[in-house]
Structure 1
């Protein structure tokens, strides 16, 4: 068995990643593969927290003319739907999972309690953090950085539809250059959009490295946890 480099990780999944090629809703083949990779991490003894976005169901910017606060709360509810879907698939695979939400909804999930979340992780349970930070005007990137700091995660695994960080959009510029390593300061100064600036600053201040990698390549989550060179490493040094 490959030895993991990190003992406790925070996996950030975009809602769009769950949609796969569909562009919206769920691509259950993709979700099943993600769940299988999470299961492999748990079997290796890695403690896994996860934050899921809601962009496959709703994004605040879709609400043209809508109050920003209302649109953001709708997005938080979308993340709860995604968290429940991922939980169900994981538990069908025999992985004990808990969903904790920043907005209380006792019938379907636990409220976020830091000590309880850490205890779940210590017992080998996957903890999925839903509803963002519970506040409008904050992204799920910021939620991932905040929860990572609160549970003392050693790294954030930022799984995206692109295979790392580029100096420009690789979908628009075929000559875009990929970075192997970056500092948080470089990301902020060059406005590279790894995460939003609030999340990036939070990781910088708490010295939590980010590994940005492509989710479309099977096995990348495990490779990242084992210290293989995948994607782009963003850190303070």
Structure 2
């Protein structure tokens, strides 16, 4: 049976302000040629953050902000399905039981999800999907080239980790996780605890660096961060 690998794809890669069809075509082309099946979970990125902020500005509550952000992730998932073509299951997956059923059909190479329920990040969705599919590893794609001890965009002296333990990742996530829709942190604490409990090897790479993406999918050394 062909192994599953799960990718958590940051929404800002898919839609940094408008849909990045060049990125979508390139990542789809890479994944199609690889000898794995994939669970792909799309984040909401800047679009989700902007909509969540607008809900708050309009005096909506956090549940409503979450709901709005989830919709953005599903729009991004639909774009990815279009790029992947006929080897992808044709609709955005909404729950893990259905994903498990679809996975039984070995003709389906790609299962694509957005967010699932308010309050749960797409990071967590990706790890839950990995558990459900018994995936070999999780690959986190973002516009940052790994995990740092602080935000490298704000701190030019931030230290990047080449490798770290599950416990180190949980500690870092605990410092930055705000539990609000549209906040931006390396990997939320619930997702970190889930990969720790199941001991799922997890890779963090810049999604625009396709060579690193390919290496991470294969479990090879790359310029990002490996957690195991």
Q: What TM-score does the superposition give when structure 1 sets the normalisation length? A: 0.81
Distance 2:20 2:99 in 1: 31
Between structures 1 and 2, the one with greater strand share: 1
**Unpaired stretches in structure 1, ≥5 consecutive residues:** 1-5, 104-110
Match of 1:106 in 2: none
Pairs within 5 Å for 1:1-237: 7-19=3-15, 23-41=16-34, 45-59=35-49, 60-64=52-56, 65-91=59-85, 95-102=87-94, 113-120=98-105, 122-130=106-114, 132-133=115-116, 135-190=117-172, 191=175, 193-230=185-222, 231-235=224-228
Where 1:233 maps in the other structure, the secondary structure is strand
Report how far residue 34 of structure 1 moved. 1.4
Detail structure 1 runs of 4+ shifted over 4 Å in the superposition: none
Report how far residue 208 of structure 1 moved. 1.2
**Unpaired stretches in structure 2, ≥5 consecutive residues:** 177-184
Between structures 1 and 2, the one with greater helix share: 2
Report how far residue 62 of structure 1 moved. 4.1
Distance 1:207 1:165 in 2: 18
CA-based RMSD of the aligned residues comes to 2.1
Where 2:47 maps in the other structure, the secondary structure is coil
Q: What TM-score does the superposition give when structure 2 sets the normalisation length? A: 0.84
Where 2:91 maps in the other structure, the secondary structure is strand
CA spacing shift, 1:62–1:201, aligned 2, 3 Å:
farther
CA spacing shift, 1:55–1:188, aligned 2, 3 Å:
same
For the 8 Å contact 1:102–1:112, the answer to whether it is kept is: no
